[in-house]
Chains A and B, each alone.
Chain A
Amino acid sequence: MKTTIWMKPFYYVIAFVFASISLYPIVLMILSSFKPSMEIFMHPLALPKEFSMETFKKLLEQVPFMTYFSNSVFVSVVSVLLTLITTSLAAFYIARYTFWWNHIMFFIFLMGMMIPIKLGIVPLFILMKNLGLTNSLWSLILMYTATGIPLSILILTGFFRTIPRELEEAARMDGAGDLRILWNVVLPLMRPALGTVMIINFIQSWNDFFFPLIFITDELKKTIPVGMMSLFGEYSADWGALFAGLTLSSLPMIVLFFIASKQFMEGLTAGAVK
């Protein structure tokens, strides 16, 4: 579509204004994390006088950030793996076989996208308590695996259906079983879809703070987002440390994003556009 020439400058102005609004708070967060609290209070917008690591050092003294960090990594990685394994198996079954109940099963899984899962939190809390999983990272791993299932199955089933059956038939002739076919023949062709599922679920489990807010009270079992709540609860006057905490908790995700920004943006919208 051709655009009239005089519109172009307006387009750039609008695009730039909103890009600044999107970026500035994040830049401010990162810059402020290098300033001592006094400097933030006196000159909130100025660049830091010097890029000292003082605030980060203080932050690590105040809260067990490295523990939060390793908990977050453990929970995210294990739940993403579990989601990948369980949903590849289920999606393969739904896409490749035509039992009469497959439609129903697919529908039930998809319904999960409309269920407000957080509203089932009271029975969930009692369930976790009975399973002895409160204050255990496994409560989070199981929840993130479960909440990741509906969208992952939607994406993977759609992708499985695009892969030609002939490849499988050939492997079947050679006597390969279902599991072997899935693992050796189909999954290697699924890399883009598996990547999408990985990214969506990783962001979800890394950033969530609702479930640990309910299930975890032990300081040493907290993930980064709830860890931030302890920090803000106890050191609310030390803005230098607060900004350092916010920056440190966002940095891993931002770094990953810049490594694979295309996959991130395509991945997160893939589920919705389908």
Chain B
Amino acid sequence: MQTMLQPNTTKQKRLKKRKRWGIHLFPIPALAIYGLFIVYPQLAALTYSFYDWKGIKRGVFIGLDNYKNLFTQEPFSGYFWNSFGHNVLYFAVQMIVQNGLAFLLAFIIYQKIRGAEFFKIAYFLPRLLSVIVVGFLWKLILNPNYGALNVIFGAFGLENLKKAWLGDPDTALMAIILVNCWFGLGFAVLIFLAGFQAIPRDLLEAATLDGAKGLMMLRRIMLPLMMPSIMIMTVLTFIQSFEAFELVYAMQGSQGEPYHATDTLAVFFYRLAFGGGTGDSTAIGLGSALAVLLFLFISVITAFYLRYMQKKQVDM
């Protein structure tokens, strides 16, 4: 019996082995493309940041000097902190305006109002446009002379609201952030709506029987259960607002006009990497140092936040 089976099993084993070998080719194309175009540039940026650069030519190894210069040398240190503050504001306003509104709108749609599908589509539609289209479209709308917004304000008799929103350093950044909220609102609504819909119905019914209703229901029962989707939106908003580039570039150019009032870290980075188009020379070393710092900042904060929230959820 055993002798009869022997050749058969070894043959099977060999067959299996041959198949196993072929299977290892499966992840190779993805790994190769991902490694070359995603991982390698990050590692390369790290090494670039330790060198002195003359234009696109690598000079000598200078250790942490690029990092030091970024914080001590004017105008770089000024740009850095100025931009950093703008990014913080970007994040805060998006959290409050975009995500706050989205939470409210998702809650409303969740109440089974009529036309829910229409509202979802309406909020989501701007998300389909290219960010450059969004930027250019709003630049036309916000134009002080012919733009639609000032005409609308005029029609409602709000003459004092008619102004050059993008030309005034006091309002330009806020205008851009609000345009970003307009763009991102629908996506946030869908995320929160998915969160609401994932709450088990019988749990809500049980709470209703116990006398929970209205705001109390929202705060005590639903809010804790919404934490996963709130967490997702917070992380996505955080990453996106600290990488903010396209909209500022489209609406205010690589200098963050007016007078760097709309500058962000990524726009500042772009100037360092490719020159500002106004005769600034490129500074690849400094740019790479900034890229590394921003990468560390984003990933460390995100990791800590996720960790903290997970712990909190276990506690609840």
B287 within 8 A of A: yes
Smallest CB gap from B198: residue in A: A273
0/1 per residue, A219-253, Cβ < 8 Å to B? Answer: 00000111011001000000100110010011001
The total of chain A residues at the interface (CB under 8 A) is 89
B164 within 8 A of A: no
Contact A265 B30 (CB under 8 A): no
Task: For chain B, residues 1 to 58, give those with C-beta under 8 angstroms from any C-beta of chain A.
Answer: 19, 22-24, 26-27, 29-31, 33-34, 36-42, 44-45, 48, 56
- B26, B128, B294, B302: which contacts A92 (Cβ < 8 A)? B26
Which chain B residues border A2 with CB–CB below 8 Å?
208, 213
Which chain B residues border A87 with CB–CB below 8 Å?
30
Contact surface of A with B, Cβ cutoff 8 Å: 1-4, 8, 11-12, 14-15, 18-19, 21-23, 25-26, 28-29, 40-41, 44-45, 82, 85-87, 89-90, 92-94, 97, 105, 108-109, 112, 114-124, 126-127, 142-143, 145-147, 149-150, 153, 177-179, 203, 206-210, 214, 224-226, 228-229, 232, 239, 242-243, 246, 249-250, 253-254, 257, 261, 264-265, 268-269, 272-273
Contact A273 B232 (CB under 8 A): yes
Q: Complex formed: what's the CA distance from A108 to B130 in Å?
A: 29
Q: Complex formed: what's the CA distance from A150 to B115 in Å?
A: 35
Q: Complex formed: what's the CA distance from A99 to B30 in Å?
A: 17
- B126, B130, B242: which contacts A249 (Cβ < 8 A)? B130
Which secondary structure dominates where chain A touches chain B? helix
Task: For chain B, residues 173 to 191, give those with C-beta under 8 angstroms from any C-beta of chain A.
Answer: 182, 185-187, 190-191
Which chain B residues border A264 with CB–CB below 8 Å?
124, 128
- B108, B273, B274, B284: which contacts A11 (Cβ < 8 A)? B108
Smallest CB gap from B236: residue in A: A272
Smallest CB gap from A270: residue in B: B194
Which chain A residues border B273 with CB–CB below 8 Å?
121-122
- A45, A105, A265: which contacts B31 (Cβ < 8 A)? A105
Contact A15 B108 (CB under 8 A): yes
0/1 per residue, B97-120, Cβ < 8 Å to A? Answer: 000010011001101010100111
Interface size class of B (residues with CB under 8 A): 35 or more
With A18-B185, A115-B42, A120-B45 known to touch, is A90 a contact of B136 (CB < 8 Å)?
no
Contact A242 B140 (CB under 8 A): yes
Contact B26 A89 (CB under 8 A): yes
- B123, B152, B217: which contacts A1 (Cβ < 8 A)? B217
Contact A122 B38 (CB under 8 A): no
Q: Complex formed: what's the CA distance from A8 to B245 in Å?
A: 40
